[in-house]
Amino acid sequence: MPCSPAPLAPCRLLLLLLLLPALRLAPAPIPAASRQGRTLILLDVNGKSPARVTSERFLSLQLDPSIVHDGWLDFLSSRRLVTLARGLAPAFLRFAGKRTDFLHFQNLKNPAKSRGPGPGPDYYLKNYEDDIVRSDIALDKQKGCKIAQHPDTMLELQREKAAQMHLVLLKEQFSNTYSNLTLTARSLDKLYNFADCSGLHLIFALNALRRNANNSWNSSNALSLIKYSASKKYNISWELGNEPNNYRMLMGRTLNGTQLGKDYVQLKELLQLIRMYARASLYGPNIGRPRKNVVALLDGFMKVAGSAVDAVTWQHYYIDGRVAKVTDFLKTRLLDTLSDQIRKIQKVVNSYTPGKKIWLEGVGAASAGASSNLSDSFAAGFLWLNTLGMLASRGIDVVMRHSFFDHGHNHLVDQNFNPLPDYWLSLLYKRLIGPKVLAVHVAGLQRKPRPGKVIRDKLRIYAHCTSYHNHNYIRGSITLYIINLHRSRKKIKLVGTLRDRLVHQYILQPHGKEGLHARSVELNGQLLVMADDESLPDLKPRPLRPGRTLVIPPLTMSFYVVKNVNAPACRYR
C-alpha cells in the first residue's frame, strides 16, 4: 500500500521518523496528525548522555514566615507533618515570603509566656533517637530530633486561631502592608528542628529592609540571628531579602541592583568571619518577574555580587486572578508563561557568570494565600508538573514550591495535615525522577518551533533517568512523565532505546465525583491516603508487558518507568 498523502497515515509517520532523526528537549511538540487522537505516537529518548543535570534537591519547598503569625510554627514538630516532609527529602526548605523583610530576630533569655493556661505545644515534644518514619531514603543525623504527638483538641484550637489569623494575613496581603514580626530564638529552634528532622536543608532569608541612613543594609539584627545559629551549630544557607524589586511598593523605598549587590557582598564577608558559616552557601537576589526594570536590577546585582552567590534566584507566581476556574489550569498559554522568563534570566546570568546555577523560588499558582481556592485541586497538578518538567529541561537547577504548609490554598499539605493532590504528585516525582534529564524524540516532528513562540501542545512528554534513591529500579532505568491535557486518550508506542521493555505505569486521576476539582487522587485507580501518622502508602505500579502500547487517559498525569534499559546516561551517578 502506497503512503497516502493524508497526514494521518502511520506509514508517513514512520517515514518521517527515518528521515528526521532530530532530537529535541522536552516538551516535544506532537505532530498535528496525532491531535485527532487516532495516531500512534512513536516515542524514543536519547539515553546516551543527559541533556541536563539538575540538583539532587531539584524539587524543593518553601515555608512562609506567616506561620510565625498564625501560630502554626509551634506545631511543625507534629509527627504527621514531619512524615510528610520526609517523603519529599532530600530537598531545600526556604524560609521566606513577603514577611521576610518584616522579620526581627529576638534572642531573649527568658521569653515571656504568651500562652494561656495549660501545657503548650512544646509539652508534647519527645526526643527520637532513631528514624520513626519508614522512608525510602536513608537519612542520617536524626539524633536529637524532637517530634510531638499533639492532642486533637489542641490542634482543633489552633485551627480556629489560625482561621481568624488567616483573615488578618489576607488583609495585609491585599493592602500590601505588613506588620513587623518577631522571630524568637525559640521559634528559630523549632524551624530548624523541623527541617533537620525532615531531612531538609534550611535556607534562611534575612531581612534586607533594615537600612542605614545612606541606604546600605544594616546587618546588626541579622548578625545576631547568625551568631545565635552558629552557637547552636545549625547548618543553614542564607539569602537576603525577598523580591527586592517590590520594595518601593512595600516601603516606599527603592533599592537598585548595585546597592543590593553590595549588601550581598557585605553579608558574604560577615559569614566568612563566623567559622560555622565561613563556607555556607548564599543565594539570591530572588527578583520577581523579569520585566524591564527587574532585569536592570538583576544586571546591576550580577555586576557586583554575581560571584558572591552560589545560585542566582528569581521567583514566579502564575498570575493572580487568571486562574478563576479549574479548566484554567489546562491552558497551555498559562503553562508556558515561564518559558520566556527562563530565557531572560539565563541571558543576564550567562553574560556575567556563564554556567552559574539558576533557581526558581516561590513558585505557585498565585501569591500565597490568594483568593484562588483552586490551587489545592487535582487540576492544579497540571501546572505544577509542567513547571517541573519545563524547568528541568531548560537547565534550572532547583525549584521551590510555595509552600509546603501555610494558610493559603497553594500548599501541599492542608491544616488538617492531610496531603493534597500536589503533594502526592510531588511524592511520586521524588520517588521516580532523578536529576538527569533526557532529550525526548517524538516521531513526525515536522518543523522546529520558532524560538519564543508559544508552544501550545496539549500532550507534554518529559524524560529523566529514574531516581537512584528508588531501590525498586536498577540503575539505567528511565522514567517518562506525561501530561495529557486532551479530552481524549492518547496512544504512545515506545521505540528505539525504549522498545520492548517492561514498563511500570503510574497514572494519577482525580478521586470521586468532583473531577478536576477533587482534593484527593487515585494512583492506578487506588485512592492515596496516609496509612497512619508515621507512614506513607506504597506507591504501587501497574506492570505492562514489553511492547505494549501506552494508553494515556484524558486529563491525566502519568509516569512510566521503562525498566532495565541500561541507558548509558543513567548507569552512573
- By beta-carbon proximity to ligand NAG, the closer residue of 292 and 450 is 292
- By beta-carbon proximity to ligand NAG, the closer residue of 207 and 484 is 207
Which of 4, 36, 215, 272 contacts ligand NAG by CB under 6 A? 215
| Candidate ranges 72-80, 241-249, 255-263, 475-483; the one touching ligand NAG (CB under 6 A) | 255-263
Question: Under rule CB under 6 A, how many of the chain's residues touch ligand NAG?
Answer: 17
Biggest CA pair distance of the chain: 88
- By beta-carbon proximity to ligand NAG, the closer residue of 218 and 339 is 218
* Binding flag, residue 293, ligand NAG (CB under 6 A): no
Whether a cis peptide bond, with omega within 30° of 0, leads into 285 is: yes
- By beta-carbon proximity to ligand NAG, the closer residue of 1 and 278 is 278
User: In the complex, what is the shortest distance from the CB of residue 196 to ligand NAG, in angstroms, rounded to a whole number?
Assistant: 10
User: In the complex, what is the shortest distance from the CB of residue 219 to ligand NAG, in angstroms, rounded to a whole number?
Assistant: 8
The three grid cell numbers given for residue 285, joined into one nine-digit string: 537576589
Q: Do the beta carbons of residue 238 and residue 281 sit within 8 Å?
A: yes
* Binding flag, residue 564, ligand NAG (CB under 6 A): no
* Binding flag, residue 182, ligand NAG (CB under 6 A): no
Q: Do the beta carbons of residue 393 and residue 504 sit within 8 Å?
A: no
Tell me how far apart the alpha carbons of residues 183 and 133 are, in angstroms, rounded to a whole number. Answer: 29
Helix (H, G, I), strand (E, B) or coil at 480: strand
Judged by CB under 6 A, the chain residues 406 through 465 that form the site for ligand NAG are none
Residue 67: CB partners within 8 Å, gap ≥ 6?
A: 73, 76, 405, 406, 407
The three grid cell numbers given for residue 234, joined into one nine-digit string: 545549625
User: In the complex, what is the shortest distance from the CB of residue 223 to ligand NAG, in angstroms, rounded to a whole number?
Assistant: 10
- By beta-carbon proximity to ligand NAG, the closer residue of 114 and 220 is 220
* Binding flag, residue 256, ligand NAG (CB under 6 A): yes
Which of 39, 158, 259, 477 contacts ligand NAG by CB under 6 A? 259
Torsion of CA 133, 136, 139, 142, to 10 degrees: 0
- By beta-carbon proximity to ligand NAG, the closer residue of 234 and 473 is 234
* Segments in 145-239 forming alpha helices (H): 152-175, 185-198, 220-231
Spatial CA neighbour of 378 closest among 436, 332, 334, 425:
425
Q: Do the beta carbons of residue 316 and residue 338 sit within 8 Å?
A: yes
Tell me how far apart the alpha carbons of residues 521 and 421 are, in angstroms, rounded to a whole number. Answer: 6
3-state secondary structure 398-410: EEEEECCCCCCCC
How many helices, marked H, and strands, marked E, lie in the chain? 14, 25
Residue found by looking up cell 501560630 in the block: 71
User: In the complex, what is the shortest distance from the CB of residue 171 to ligand NAG, in angstroms, rounded to a whole number?
Assistant: 14
User: In the complex, what is the shortest distance from the CB of residue 25 to ligand NAG, in angstroms, rounded to a whole number?
Assistant: 29
* Binding flag, residue 180, ligand NAG (CB under 6 A): yes
* Binding flag, residue 258, ligand NAG (CB under 6 A): yes
3-state secondary structure 93-119: EEECCHHHHHEEEECCCCCCCCCCCCC
- By beta-carbon proximity to ligand NAG, the closer residue of 208 and 508 is 208
User: In the complex, what is the shortest distance from the CB of residue 346 to ligand NAG, in angstroms, rounded to a whole number?
Assistant: 23
The three grid cell numbers given for residue 244, joined into one nine-digit string: 527586592
Torsion of CA 410, 413, 418, 420, to 10 degrees: 50
Site string for ligand NAG, 51-80 (x = CB under 6 A): ------------------------------
* Binding flag, residue 266, ligand NAG (CB under 6 A): no
Q: Do the beta carbons of residue 91 and residue 60 sit within 8 Å?
A: yes
Q: Do the beta carbons of residue 282 and residue 310 sit within 8 Å?
A: yes
Which of 201, 436, 460, 490 contacts ligand NAG by CB under 6 A? 201
Angle, alpha carbons 415-188-106 (nearest 5°) = 120
Which of 49, 149, 182, 216 contacts ligand NAG by CB under 6 A? 216
Whether a cis peptide bond, with omega within 30° of 0, leads into 187 is: no
- By beta-carbon proximity to ligand NAG, the closer residue of 33 and 236 is 236
Site string for ligand NAG, 134-173 (x = CB under 6 A): ----------------------------------------
* Binding flag, residue 107, ligand NAG (CB under 6 A): no
Site string for ligand NAG, 327-366 (x = CB under 6 A): ----------------------------------------
* Binding flag, residue 212, ligand NAG (CB under 6 A): yes
Residue 311 CA: distances (Å) to CA of 98, 163, 302, 347, 356: 21, 36, 11, 15, 6
Tell me how far apart the alpha carbons of residues 233 and 279 are, in angstroms, rounded to a whole number. Answer: 14
User: In the complex, what is the shortest distance from the CB of residue 265 to ligand NAG, in angstroms, rounded to a whole number?
Assistant: 12
The three grid cell numbers given for residue 488, joined into one nine-digit string: 481524549
Tell me how far apart the alpha carbons of residues 558 and 552 are, in angstroms, rounded to a whole number. Answer: 8
User: In the complex, what is the shortest distance from the CB of residue 38 to ligand NAG, in angstroms, rounded to a whole number?
Assistant: 36
- By beta-carbon proximity to ligand NAG, the closer residue of 175 and 179 is 179
Judged by CB under 6 A, the chain residues 364 through 383 that form the site for ligand NAG are 371, 373
Burial of 353 (0-12, 13-18, 19+ CB in 10 A): middle
Which of 110, 114, 153, 214 contacts ligand NAG by CB under 6 A? 214
Which of 107, 135, 235, 418 contacts ligand NAG by CB under 6 A? 235
| Candidate ranges 208-216, 391-399, 425-433, 500-508; the one touching ligand NAG (CB under 6 A) | 208-216
| Candidate ranges 159-167, 182-190, 210-218, 563-571; the one touching ligand NAG (CB under 6 A) | 210-218
Residues in the site for ligand NAG, rule: CB under 6 A?
A: 179-180, 201, 210, 212, 214-216, 218, 220-221, 235, 256, 258-259, 371, 373
